[in-house]
Amino acid sequence: MTAEDLAQPGSRRAADRTASPGGPEVGVLALQGDVREHVRVLESLGCTVVEVRVPADLERVAGLVLPGGESTTLSLLLGSAGLLEPLSERLRAGMPAFGTCAGMILLASEVLDGRSDQRVLGAIDLGVRRNAFGRQLDSFESDLVVAGIDGGPMHAAFIRAPVVERVGPGVEVLAVLDVARDRRPVVCRSGVVTVAAFHPEVTGDSRLHEVFVRDVAAAAAPAAAAAVAVPQRA
């Protein structure tokens, strides 16, 4: 899907941007970080949300949001919860995902300044650097133009945010930020995996979540159609 495909006519609350009643369940990784904020946004879009803490939770969902938090801690908790391998398998199989801040780091293929025991999911071919803008006190906000997202610039909150240092083939850069006279990607997309270096869940702007919800609905539609087409045995 290209940036042009992300744009939809009408308002930011258009019906085709929200989940339909009885649609697939979506998950928020709930091991650490700003889980509740993501849950609220998704529920406001009509989603049935599962807080994913164990493999059985992951089996229920058709897509997953990986929230901000502390990326090293989240990496270790994924392993101790038994989620690392099943989540990697689901992502390789094409499950839609949306990662913000630490979630971007987890979904990337490389953490340039990570600990030796830090694991990543490799769902999007990016090399990222943690806490690129400094400590919590150095957090800031900025307005970003995100390719394919209508409704004007997106107000973004960068809180101990990572930055993308390397973009692999097949990854689309949707938004950039000027950093030390250099333009660094802060929103990227590959297939049905979207990542952002900032926290859209805290600024009241749901447009990137809406992209994720549409990805989930589109991915679930062929499976639902196939299930209907399978004849029932007597």
Cβ contact 107:123 at 8 Å: yes
Taking alpha carbons only, the member of 69, 13, 16 closest to residue 38 is 69
Cβ contact 186:196 at 8 Å: yes
209 tagged catalytic: no
Active-site choice (37, 172, 201, 210):
201
Active-site choice (37, 38, 101, 209):
101
Taking alpha carbons only, the member of 35, 33, 111, 99 closest to residue 69 is 33
Torsional sign, CA 203, 195, 190, 29: negative
For Cα atoms 137, 141, 144, give the angle at the middle one, nearest 5 degrees.
150
89 tagged catalytic: no
199 tagged catalytic: yes
Q: How many CA atoms lie within 13 A of 229 on its CB side?
A: 6
Pairing of strands 193-196, 97-100: parallel
Question: What's the count of helices (H) and strands (E) in the chain, helices before strands?
Answer: 7, 12
Q: How far apart are CA 11 and CA 192, in angstroms?
A: 23
Cβ contact 148:3 at 8 Å: yes
Q: How far apart are CA 66 and CA 30, in angstroms?
A: 8
Active-site choice (38, 172, 199, 210):
199
Q: How far apart are CA 51 and CA 39, in angstroms?
A: 8
Q: Catalytic site residues?
A: 101, 199, 201
